[in-house]
Each structure stands twice: as structure tokens, then as C-alpha cells.
Amino acid sequence: MGNRLEDKVAIVSAAGQTPGDRLGPILGNGRATAMLFAREGARVLLVDRRPESAEETRALIAAEGGAASVFAADVTRAAECRAIPERCVEVFGRVDILVNNVGIGGGDAGLLKLQEADWDRIMATNLKSMFLMCQAVMPHLVKQGSGAIVNISSIAAIASMNLIAYKVSKAGVNALTHAVAMGAAPKGVRVNAIMPGLIHTPMAIEGWAEATGKTREEIVRARDERVPLKGGMGSAWDVAHAALFLASAEAKFITAAVLPVDGGQSGLIG
């Protein structure tokens, strides 16, 4: 246990976990981030549209002596987004940190095969939700004159890939981060983004296994081989530690930044 977020209150969206490895050793980004924040002294509101999954995260935090509460919400809906910080203030008295972690890629394809409904669903989940959450939480941060927002983007925003909606949505997250950061800076609120590369999470492995019919072992091996840094894919803890840094006072002079956490994958561009 540390104190880098002592006396802080954080909201983490998608704080549950993709079914498949629900309580296994491999964690998703949201669960790892929520657990790490709690270990560093934060009280955490765990937001997920599947509250039973967020409840598993809460139990893990409680087992380590941390404090967390679960709130069920669909972050693609404005009214439900507005209710999230209200609930956080009701339970914990304030809001200091928002981690926008929701993201999907299922149903995506190249230009000629991508369906309009899938485009709309991915854009709503990956980009619109972050706009709505920033919009809902920002007044609370501005009122107290401080706070930090961390948006989870993806290296897909700048790398070549054939999943067009996912790529465009994550590029939009980077642009949204910059725009919101510059508007919030005079008010003392910092806004940054993280671009994870190939991370070994249940969502990534289970999703590709279902989409391609390949075994999990084949998928893990292929993803490991694409990472320049020795050791292969990163873990959700790598993303969580980056989020912790950006949310903490150690990053008090950092805003509008987009941080790759990708084992050097972005270095291959160019």
C-alpha cells in the first residue's frame, strides 16, 4: 500500500472484466487501474454496465483493505453519465480523478465490409462516452480548482490497422483529450491520454479468439512477436501504472499529453 493518491477519490469506468478470465491472474485495464489506485490510497467508484463484474473488482479491493463502491451505468447515455459523479459525491464526498477506460472493437472491419450499425456502436462506446463523461465530471473538478482526467486511447490511433472504426475512434480520443485539456488548463484541471499497445488482457485475447477461431496460445504468441521490447506483450498493470502517474501529483505539470505504453511499437512508425 502506498499514498500517491491519499485522500483522493477516483471514478474508473469499465472497472469490471471481460468474462472468460473473470478472477484469473490476467486482469483487464479497468480492474488493474482500480486496484492500483485503491492500493495508493484512493477511494474508487467502480462504474460498469455489468455491476456483477464490477462487484468482483470491489471484492478484490476490499480484500486488500481498500475502499470502493459499485455503480451500474451505460456511459453512452448522457443522463447516466451525469448520475455517475453525483453518485460519487454522494458516497465519497468529492471527485478528483476520472479514468475513461471504456472501449470495444467487436464487429469492426475494413472500409468496404464495415456495417453502419457497427460503426455507430463503436464510435458511441469509444469516443462519445468519453466526451459525455468529461462533460459530466468537469464541473465538479472546476468547482474545486483541481483534478485529473485520464483517457485510455490506443496505439491504433497512429498505427496501421484494418479495423477502421476502432482506429478512427481512438484517434478521436486523442483529439478530444487535447481539446478538453486546453480548455481545462486555466481552471487547474489536467487531461491526458494513454495509448496502450499490445496488452495481454482477457478482452484482447478472448475477443480475437472468438473473431478468428484461433487458439488463445496462437494469439498470444503472434501478439508477443509484434512487440519490439523484449518480453512480448505488456499487462494491464503497465497501463495502470501509467494512469497512476498521470493522475498523481507527480504529473502536476503534465496536461494534453498522449503517452504510448506499447513496448516500442509506436517506434516502428516512420
- With 0-12 / 13-18 / 19 or more C-beta atoms within 10 angstroms meaning exposed / middle / buried, residue 127 is buried
Query: What is the H or E stretch that residue 218 is in?
Result: helix 216-225
Question: Among 166, 193, 201, 220, which one carries the catalytic annotation?
Answer: 166
Q: What does the alpha-carbon distance between residue 203 and residue 101 come to, in Å, rounded to a whole number? A: 13
| Spatial contact of 103 and 81, defined as CB atoms under 8 Å apart | no
Strand partners, 43: 9, 67
Q: Which of 206, 189, 62, 199 shows the shortest CA–CA distance to 137?
A: 189
Q: Which of 54, 90, 85 shows the shortest CA–CA distance to 72?
A: 54
Q: What does the alpha-carbon distance between residue 93 and residue 82 come to, in Å, rounded to a whole number? A: 16
Which residues neighbour 121 within 8 Å (Cβ) at sequence distance 6 or greater?
104, 107
Q: Which of 182, 171, 174, 135 shows the shortest CA–CA distance to 151?
A: 174
Q: Judging by DSSP bridges, how do beta strands 43-48 and 9-13 pair with one another?
A: parallel
Annotated catalytic, 156? no
Active site residue ranges? 166
